[in-house]
Amino acid sequence: MLIYSQPLELTKLLAAIDNFLQGNLTPGWTVLVKGILVGILILAAYTLIALSLIYIERKVAAFFQARLGPNRLGKYGVIQSLADMIKILIKEVIQINKADKLLFYAAPFFVIVASVLAFGALPFGMNLHALDFNIGVFYLLAVSSLGIIGILLAGWSSNNKYSMIGAMRSGAQFISYELSAGFSLMTIVVLSGSMQFSEIIEGQRYCWNLFNGHLPAMIAFLIYLISGHAETNRGPFDLPEAESELTAGYHTEYSGLQFGFFYLSEYLNMFIVAAVAATVFLGGWMPVQIKGWEAFNQVMWYIPSWAWFFGKAGLLMFFSLWVRWSFPRLRIDLLLNLEWKYLLPINLANLLVMVVIVLSGFTLTDLFPALFGK
């Protein structure tokens, strides 16, 4: 295999930093400093991505409603969400008299910690991966489902019936759809034969999993997108926060920075769902390559891998916004109906079909090794 020139890749910069640290510090200190640097970078990226997502969401929502959206602060209103952040930071955190104080203050941290943990395990690009677990998919599913504890705690400790109903709805919805999301990811784990993100991405060098597993993979992709929307309480599944019924759902009583935590994690969860879908189904940070077309592949490699990753995730996020502004909110019984009577049975059958296809060699890489093989 040819080694392609990758001018915009961050690999060299990372190696230089690594050499510098190792040359000047003892191994223990190197690990510590690197850990702190990675932590700061992840938190900074978290905030930046959430802020830009809030801006993009408002802009896209406006365009779907024949408006212009934020257009006053900066050119086209680009620093609107920065101003909102400053406003939220200087707001008072209001004490609720009859709330369960400890749980009330702990709840937003559960939500944001779960989402930061999931965010930290994403492969952002070539070598831009904080920790490449050999059970990466499993880890991501596990930590992202921690967030629901925070939501239930928030609803319970607020001592407010709207918060409680919102949290209960959210809990029912999250736990139901977590099943579907898990099974659809398992379908792809069966296809790629690994839970490690780096291996899943490497396996999609010439053929994305979405096409490699053709019919069952496409069904799994669709189900993952639906359950991802439902898990993040967005799109037509935003009934835990149905403002016409529940004011704001589980975060009704929160103000200031605590509300900001819920707000940030909601947007970041949307990004995480899109990023996981992009990584697992659409090849992650791997550029589009065609076997044998060396010139074409080289051109594709000139685009850095992180740009591919954010491009694919961005496309899926746009899809999520499109869905959100297209469909009316589901009723709670219809929501659970969709999950338990449709998505889950289809998903189980789909998993079985995928196993049969993989075992009998009907994936595209097995059928056309000359075109798509490794």
Partner 1 sequence: MKFIQYIGGIFTALRSLAGGMIVTWKELLTPKVTMEYPENRKTLVISDRWRSELIMPHDENNEHACTACGICMINCPNGTIQVTSSSIDTEDGKKKKILDKHLWDYGSCTFCNLCVITCPSDAIIFNNDFEGAVFDKSKLLHRLNHEGSKLRDRKKEASTLDTSAKKENKEA
DSSP 128: B
Identity of the residue, 257 or 323, whose beta carbon is nearer to partner 1 in the bound complex: 323
| Near partner 1 by CB under 8 A: residue from 326, 334, 348, 369 | 326
| Footprint of partner 1 on 303-322 (CB under 8 A) | 322
Cβ distance to partner 1 smaller for residue 138 or 319 = 319
Q: Hey, what's the torsion of the CAs at 37, 40, 44, 49, to 10 degrees?
A: 80
Go through the chain and tell me how many residues it has. Answer: 374
- Shortest distance, position 219 Cβ to partner 1, whole Å: 11
Dihedral sign for Cα 350, 354, 357, 359, please: negative
Q: Bridge partners of 125? A: 128
Q: Among 19, 65, 134, 337, which residue interacts with partner 1 (rule: CB under 8 A)?
A: 65
List the x/- string, 17-56, binding to partner 1 by CB under 8 A.
----------------------------------------
Identify the CA nearest to 120 among candidates 129, 112, 111: 129
Q: Which stretch binds partner 1 (CB under 8 A): 200-208, 298-306, 324-332, 347-355?
A: 324-332
From the list 41, 325, 353, 355, which residue makes contact with partner 1 (rule: CB under 8 A)? 325
Q: What is the 3-state secondary structure (H, E, C) of 287-325?
A: CCCCCCCHHHHHHHHHCCHHHHHHHHHHHHHHHHHHHHC
Tokens 């359950």 locate to 227
Return the number of the residue (24 or 326) whose C-beta is nearest partner 1: 326
What is the nearest approach in angstroms of partner 1 to the Cβ of residue 269? 22
Question: By C-beta, is 16 or 68 nearer to partner 1?
Answer: 68
Q: Of 109, 293, 296, 327, which one interacts with partner 1 (CB under 8 A)?
A: 327
Nearer to partner 1, 151 or 335 (CB): 335
Residue 17 or 61 having the CB closest to partner 1: 61
Q: If we measure between CA atoms, which residue out of 98, 224, 69 comes closest to residue 163?
A: 98
Alpha helix (H) residue ranges in the chain: 11-24, 27-64, 80-89, 101-120, 136-144, 147-157, 161-192, 197-202, 209-212, 214-231, 243-246, 256-281, 294-302, 305-324, 332-337, 344-359, 364-367, 369-372
Cβ at position 325, least distance to partner 1 in Å:
6
Binding partner 1 (rule: CB under 8 A), the pick from 20, 63, 296, 368 is 63
Burial 231-260 (b: 16+ CB within 10 A, else e): bbbbbbbbbbbbeeebebbbbbbbbebbbb
Distances from the Cα of 25 to the Cαs of 20, 34, 71, 103, in angstroms? 9, 11, 49, 42
Of 44-52, 60-68, 180-188, 269-277, which part binds partner 1 (CB under 8 A)? Answer: 60-68
Residues that bind partner 1 (rule: CB under 8 A) add up to a total of: 15
* Shortest distance (Å) from residue 80 CB to partner 1: 15
d(CA 264, CA 54): 9
Question: Measured between alpha carbons, how far is 131 from 140 in angstroms, rounded to an integer?
Answer: 12
Residue 128's DSSP bridge partners are: 125
Give 293 or 327: the residue with its C-beta nearer to partner 1. Answer: 327
**Shortest gap between Cβ of 68 and partner 1 (angstroms)?**
4
In the region spanning residues 328 to 367, those forming contacts with partner 1, defined by CB under 8 A, are: 342, 346
One residue of 64, 139, 211, 302 binding partner 1 per CB under 8 A: 64
Report the residue number, 12 or 67, with the smaller CB distance to partner 1: 67
Distance separating alpha carbons of residues 138 and 142, to the nearest angstrom: 6
Site for partner 1 contains 138 (CB under 8 A): no
The binder of partner 1 chosen from 22, 44, 67, 87 (CB under 8 A): 67
Report the C-alpha gap between 150 and 196 in whole angstroms: 28
Judged by beta carbon, residue 66 or residue 370, the one nearer partner 1 is: 66
Pick from 3, 66, 359, 370: which binds partner 1 (CB under 8 A)? 66
Residues near partner 1, by CB under 8 A:
60, 63-68, 71, 322-323, 325-327, 342, 346
